[in-house]
């Protein structure tokens, strides 16, 4: 059952998602105007503007807004924060395009639409993913994103490390290796922490960096982000094991949770739900240590932690 809190959060998430899509659409138009290859940008836009929930964009924007003056309404949020949110969604979209390739997960659909390599072709899909990664770093480093170059450089380093060989791509590698050699609980948690958790965590960190948060707040945000990221991955596994295919919009059961290296396989359904709740408690405790400039956004982030494990898609 949906609590009133969750209902508020759902509305706010929809608003943030809509604004993120507007920003992304504008960015893709600008890339075309600046001489980008049309078909390439079409493929990038196809896979980025796909009706996603924009969890990463939400975490960027909400974290920044919680810590900044004069961000009471969405219209008060600076354009640069939307750039940062868009950068995370570009990076996430790139990872999904490459994940779906025949040589990777070989997925025919993504959110109910043909995968990028089927809507276009494999070569275009590879290039679209590649160019989305470049675009993410372009968005973080462009002066219009933030007046302080130190913050822009920090945003880049934060995303680069979350995306790379000791982050998302590294987690994908460990996941591929897990197909031939089962991982124990510790290695499974490490793999999933890199594969999914790293980008979620870094989106929270990016919101703090954008707002110029001090080291103390950044430390609390890191705990919040890491716990939310872990809970998010467990929830994904749970959805895969028990979710409703029609709601999620992709073929389920592909992880074959009884045999594969997922936390659900190691902990069982109940154990995984318990672990996710434990992570959410940790996240909320860390968040409670932060005195927000804007209590409303603090509340959204608190609700978000709970939403992570209550979502059904």
Binding site residues, a copy of itself, CB under 8 A: 31, 34-37, 39-41, 44, 94, 98, 101, 103-104, 117, 121-124, 126-127, 129-131, 133-135, 137-138, 140-143, 148-150, 152-154, 156-157, 159-161, 163-167, 169-174, 176-177, 194
d(CA 168, CA 177): 14
Min dist. Cβ of residue 150 to a copy of itself (A) = 4
In the bound state with a copy of itself, the residue whose beta carbon lies nearer, of 92 and 298, is 92
Min dist. Cβ of residue 296 to a copy of itself (A) = 32
Min dist. Cβ of residue 220 to a copy of itself (A) = 23
Min dist. Cβ of residue 27 to a copy of itself (A) = 10
Min dist. Cβ of residue 146 to a copy of itself (A) = 9
In the bound state with a copy of itself, the residue whose beta carbon lies nearer, of 98 and 110, is 98
Look up residue 32 and give its two tokens.
């075309």
In the bound state with a copy of itself, the residue whose beta carbon lies nearer, of 48 and 294, is 48
In the bound state with a copy of itself, the residue whose beta carbon lies nearer, of 106 and 216, is 106
Contacts of 157 (CB under 8 A, 6+ apart): none
Min dist. Cβ of residue 114 to a copy of itself (A) = 16
In the bound state with a copy of itself, the residue whose beta carbon lies nearer, of 137 and 268, is 137
In the bound state with a copy of itself, the residue whose beta carbon lies nearer, of 34 and 73, is 34
Instruction: Burial-class residue 141 by CB neighbours within 10 Å (0-12, 13-18, 19+).
Output: middle
């Amino acid at each position: 059952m949906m609590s009133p809190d969750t209902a508020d959060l759902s509305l706010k998430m929809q608003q943030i998602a809509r604004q993120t899509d507007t920003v992304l659409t504008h960015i893709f138009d600008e890339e075309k105007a600046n001489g980008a290859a049309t078909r390439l940008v079409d493929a990038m836009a196809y896979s980025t503007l796909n009706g996603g929930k924009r969890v990463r964009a939400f975490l960027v924007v909400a974290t920044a807004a919680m810590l900044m003056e004069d961000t009471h309404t969405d219209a008060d949020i600076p354009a640069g924060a939307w750039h940062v949110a868009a950068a995370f969604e570009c990076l996430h979209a790139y990872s999904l395009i490459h994940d779906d390739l025949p040589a990777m997960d070989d997925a025919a659909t993504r959110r109910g639409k043909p995968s990028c390599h089927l809507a276009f072709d494999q070569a275009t899909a590879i290039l679209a993913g590649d160019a989305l990664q470049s675009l993410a770093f372009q968005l973080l480093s462009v002066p219009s994103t933030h007046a302080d170059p130190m913050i822009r450089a920090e945003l880049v380093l934060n995303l680069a490390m979350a995306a790379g060989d000791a982050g998302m791509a590294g987690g994908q590698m460990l996941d591929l290796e897990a197909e031939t050699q089962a991982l124990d609980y510790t290695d499974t948690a490490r793999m999933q922490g890199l594969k999914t958790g790293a980008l979620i965590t870094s989106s929270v960190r990016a919101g703090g960096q954008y707002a110029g948060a001090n080291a103390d707040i950044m430390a609390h945000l890191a705990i919040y982000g890491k716990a939310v990221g872990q809970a998010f991955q467990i929830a994904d596994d749970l959805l895969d094991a028990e979710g409703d295919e029609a709601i999620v919009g992709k073929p389920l059961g592909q992880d074959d949770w009884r045999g594969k290296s997922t936390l659900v396989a190691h902990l069982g359904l109940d154990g995984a739900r318990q672990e996710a709740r434990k992570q959410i408690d940790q996240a909320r405790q860390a968040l409670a240590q932060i005195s927000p400039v804007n209590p409303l956004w603090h509340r959204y982030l608190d609700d978000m932690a709970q939403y992570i494990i209550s979502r059904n898609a």
